[in-house]
Structure 1
Amino acid sequence: MPLDSAPVPRLDLLLARSSGLGRRAATRAIRAGRLTRHDGTPWTDAKERVPPSHLPLTVRLDGEPLVLREHVHVLQHKPAGVVTARSDRRHATAYELLAGAPLHRHLRAVGRLDLDTTGLLLWTTDGTWVHRLAHPKYGIERTYEALLDRPPAPCPEDLVLDDGHRPEIRRIETVPDEKAHPGLLRPAPGPVCRIVLVGGKFHEVKRIFAALGSRVLALCRTAYGPWRLPVTLPAGGWVEIDRRAGPGA
């Protein structure tokens, strides 16, 4: 089913989602005339459907500006030392760094990056989009740059890892130092390689290079599908993105 075939959202649900009000409180606020359109006219039909093409939409609640949103999609530059989780007892989380993002409490990560891996991490409030981007059957490419202890051996077309897994590698290429992404940490000297693959199994990139005789010293995801990690986005920073620019639009 196409992603955009989902039901058109109701006004009361949009208000509850965007304001933090409970659904009943949102319905009461609408019926009481506390919600107004941009032209100042009251919006009193709580069951009215708002087409996604009209969103995001700026309205006023009790006279204060409020942006109605159904979903939000965020690209984050994950730093090293934080886990891809909403909460964790041992480590700081990438989710904590998204404070201030729209619909923050509804955001979910698309896949995950290891504790010591940096780079592009997508977040969304749309569970269907998470599945569409993360599941291997959709063939979404991930691009990484890896700092290695030594150059890797040539990669055979039929590479099989130690657990029998056959990674779907699109290409591996050497990256000149001056062209390496600034998001890749450089704790030691060594060659940098770019790898493009489909899927994202546990430690897959590290295991691929290990099979080629190299050890990964640092790893940065620089692209996920059509989205690229901006070279100007600092570690820990995030930007809102348009889902319509990529798969599942």
Structure 2
Amino acid sequence: MAIMRLDKALSMTGMTRAEARKAVAAGRVQAGGTAVRDPGFKAEPANILLDGQPIDAPEHIYVMLNKPAGIVTATEDSRWQTVLSLMPEHIARRRPGPVGRLDRDVTGLVLLTDDGQLAHRLISPRTKAEKVYLAECEGALDAEDTALFASGMALSDFTAKPAKLDILSSGDTSRALVTLTEGKFHQVKRMFAAAGHPLLRLRRLSIGGVKLDESLDEGEWRMLTDEEVEILRAVR
């Protein structure tokens, strides 16, 4: 990692800049084995100690959240609780943004990161990052619905790209996996409604090949593994 100011490196651990400057001024910070009292002093994070211990200051953070219903996929909202509010303080202070959006009533995988370059690539229309959803809808799904999704469905304001519909069960209500490479506003709901099958429930299972950790209860989160981050970086 590149060298950076002490106060910036410390803020990447979850400290505020004010707390970081106070820690430096108090002589609690060493760089290269020497106590430093200038918060503007630059060093590699790997060579910085706080209270004699190496700091944990990754350049970027990558979080997997199992979003419950009722939470908005945003960092701020004047009315509803946000995904960022589910993060502990040391994560929330870094202001990781959600990669794409889920409607408030939709559950499942949300990725949050402060790696703007990766986030932008994953949500770019030019990037074919597959998103997989588990949908429950009204009515019996059949082969005609599978063909309709695959054909590129014409909605009121745009034509959706071809999507894959794998029917899991069919009856008075049906369950299916939906795979698509775009994510416009209310898109999955609108596609099912246009097919005559209003959605009852929707849950996102994966983004760009990274699958929701099913050991996470709704509202729980964990950091992505290095392997999962590399999977996302490989998406083109």
> The TM-score by the shorter chain falls in which range?
0.7 to 0.9
Q: Structure 1 residues 151, 124: closer, same or farther in 2, change over 3 A? A: same
Partner of 2:42: 47
Structure 2, unaligned runs of 5 or more: none
Structure 1 residue ranges without an equivalent (≥5)? 1-6, 51-56, 178-188
Q: Is the 8 A contact 1:58 1:68 kept in 2?
A: no
Q: 1:109 to 1:78 in 2, by over 3 A?
A: same
Compared CA separation, residues 110 and 43, structure 1 to 2 (3 A): farther
- Distance in 1 of aligned mates of 2:92 and 2:71: 21
User: Of 69, 77, 82, which residue of structure 1 is paired with 2:58?
Assistant: 69
Identify if the C-alpha distance between structure 1 residues 120 and 244 changes in structure 2 by more than 3 Å, giving closer, same or farther: closer
Residues 94 and 58 (structure 1), Cα distance of their counterparts in 2 relative to 1, 3 Å cut = farther
With over 3 angstroms needed to count, the CA separation of the structure-2 counterparts of 1:26 and 1:176, relative to structure 1, is farther
Letter of the 1:214 partner, please give it. Answer: H
In structure 2, the residue matched to 1:8 is 2
Partner of 2:192: 209
**In the alignment, which residue of structure 1 is the partner of 2:233?**
248
Q: What's the counterpart of residue 180 of structure 2?
A: 197
Where 2:42 maps in the other structure, the secondary structure is coil
CA 1:107–1:83 in 2, change beyond 3 Å: closer, same or farther?
same
Percent identical: 30
Residue by residue, what CA displacement relative to the aligned partner does 1:164-184 show, whole Å, maximum 9, x if unpaired? 42222341101259xxxxxxx
> 1:124 — aligned with what?
113
Instruction: Give the deviation of 1:26 after TM superposition.
Output: 4.2
- The answer for the alignment partner of 1:160 in structure 2 is 153
Secondary structure at the residue paired with 1:70? Answer: coil
DSSP 3-state at the match of 1:136: coil
* TM-score, normalised with respect to structure 2: 0.80
- Counterpart in the other structure of 1:223: 206
Report the count of equivalent residues: 223
Larger mean Cα displacement after TM superposition, 65-74 or 227-236? 65-74
Q: Which residue of 1 aligns with 2:28?
A: 34
1:83 paired residue among 58, 62, 72? 72
Cα gap change, 1:228/1:26 in structure 2, threshold over 3 Å: closer, same or farther? same
Give the alignment's Cα RMSD to 1 decimal. 3.1
Distance 1:220 1:28, change over 3 A: closer
Give me the whole-angstrom Cα distance separating, in 2, the residues matched to 1:166 and 1:112: 20
Structure 1, residues 89-112: CA drift from partner, whole Å, max 9, x if none? 322222111124536442111111
Query: Residue 85 of structure 1: CA displacement?
Result: 1.7
Q: What is the distance in 1 between the residues matched to 2:49 and 2:92?
A: 17
Counterpart contact for 2:13–2:90, Cα < 8 Å: no
Q: Retained in 2: the 8 A contact 1:17–1:103?
A: no
SS of the residue 2:119 aligns to: helix
**What SS is found at the alignment partner of 2:74?**
coil
